[in-house]
Amino acid sequence: MMPNLTLTIAQYAAATSIDKIPPDVRELAKQVILDEMASAQFGRRSLAGDLAARYAPSQGGAPEALVLGTRVRIPAQYAALANGAAGHGEEVDGAHVVGGHPGATLVHAAVAAAERQRCSGAELLNAVVLAYDVGVRLVAACGGKFSVRSRLHLYSDFLYALGGAVAAGRLMGLEPLHLCHAMALCTFQTNALGSLFQERRHISKSLCNGQFALAGVSAAQMAAVGLEGVDDVVGAHAGVLDAWGAKDGAALVTRGLGEDWSIRGANFKFINAGYPIHAAVEAARTLQQRHHLAADTIKAVHVGMPREGVKTVDNRAMHNICVQDMVCAALAQGGLSLRELPFPSILQDPVFNRLRAAVTVGVDPDLDRSQPQGRGANVLIQTADGLTISHCVEAPRGHSSRGRVTWTELEDKWRDGLPGCDVGKMVGLAQRLDDIDDVRVFADAFAQ
């Protein structure tokens, strides 16, 4: 096999091991895995999560991997589908600085494959770090989320499927040539036309992450039995970069492998809302708390955001992807909680409805200039007694630019979100994941 870009990725993947991963990256990977699996259990209540959990077991097959939030084990690729869909179903799963929601695809592909293979926790950690390194670099090589969407009318998360294929293939022990074929076979199964954002009930966007996780696992399984794709699907003529790549994309695919760990750009969410909304809610609540504002004294609210953020969350029909709805809910009830989701009951609250009529959203020129692909927000509040105050949050709580989240923060998040579960057990197992001999022991903590 002649040297090529896909082979370079595959050779790197086959040589990875937990011993080569720095301690801080290993610890972050444990947190990411915990958070994504808990997000899937939380998201089982969503319409997409519920429907996927009904569909996947109906396909039958061997009990290889757990449908999180149930006690049902099904073939790994279908578990990846069900868990990826649920993982994004309530918009509480992690995001990434390069864009999109890699964890909802990458973690669930890796966990399902690891369960199938009865891998150790250390092998799972290595696979998840690897999945981010491949998937995030491919998205960056194609220009990032907003470039892919504006230039190509595609949702860039479909590229994470290739990272899922590499991770699953690594857990299955595939050699480099078969890892190349797994990446190629994966491309036959993924698509994400930007029209999915016109959905009415958040099913399509949630399901796509599950579909990409399924594609990664099944592509690795296909390659394992000898099915082939082209040797260089990433770098070949009419391959990934030729079709979708940005300038210098090929260099971005391999630059810093084994040194610059892509998972370090992972961002955690602490409310279940579209990611551009988080800074706006934080800024509004900071003003409310700092100035001791009762909701009924607020006369007007203006939210300024980067242009791409406005396009994503301005006046959306789905409440937790609508910045107006979520900011007003946070102000009306003095915060947001995963335990008690505000919609639809808050729609009957006169304070919420008065605020909802008084909120405006627009592009903030400074934020749009300084962070056009960022997640900041500048909130201005006017009160009935004439006070005008504002606060800017350049990156919300949980964003990688604000430093690491703590285990205590994650445990508090999921004690709130999963009150009927043994969250302490989940966290304890995650913290010692590299000492667990069989990933199923960890996965079983998410059975219910």
Say which DSSP state 406 is in. P
Select the CATH number that applies to the domain covering 5-270+403-446 from these four: 3.60.21.10, 1.10.4100.10, 1.10.287.3510, 3.30.2350.10. Answer: 1.10.4100.10
Q: How many CB atoms lie within 10 A of CB 262?
A: 25
User: CB–CB of 29/77 below 8 Å?
Assistant: no
- Report the chain's C-alpha Rg in angstroms: 21
Nearest CA among 140, 247, 157 for reference residue 193: 157
**DSSP helix/strand/coil, 299:** strand
Residue-by-residue pLDDT tens, the chain, 448 positions: 789 999 999 999 999 999 999 999 999 999 999 999 999 999 999 999 999 999 999 999 999 999 999 999 999 999 999 999 999 999 999 999 998 999 999 999 999 999 999 999 999 999 999 999 999 999 999 999 889 998 999 999 999 999 999 999 999 999 999 999 999 999 999 989 988 888 888 888 999 999 999 999 999 999 999 999 999 999 999 999 999 999 889 999 999 999 999 999 999 999 999 999 999 999 999 999 999 999 999 999 999 999 999 999 999 989 999 999 999 999 999 999 999 999 999 999 999 999 999 999 999 999 999 988 889 999 999 999 999 999 999 999 999 999 999 999 999 999 999 999 999 999 999 999 999 999 999 999 999 8
In angstroms, rounded to a whole number, what is the distance separating the alpha carbons of residues 403 and 422?
A: 27
At 194 the pLDDT is: 86
At 190 the pLDDT is: 92
- Looking at the DSSP bridge assignments, the partners of residue 193 are 154
At 67 the pLDDT is: 97
In angstroms, rounded to a whole number, what is the distance separating the alpha carbons of residues 373 and 152?
A: 17
The domain limits of the chain are 5-270+403-446, 275-393
At 448 the pLDDT is: 83
At 127 the pLDDT is: 98
In angstroms, rounded to a whole number, what is the distance separating the alpha carbons of residues 383 and 405?
A: 34
Select the CATH number that applies to the domain covering 275-393 from these four: 3.40.140.10, 3.40.50.720, 3.30.1330.120, 3.30.70.1710. Answer: 3.30.1330.120
At 198 the pLDDT is: 84
Q: Is the pTM of this model over 0.85?
A: yes
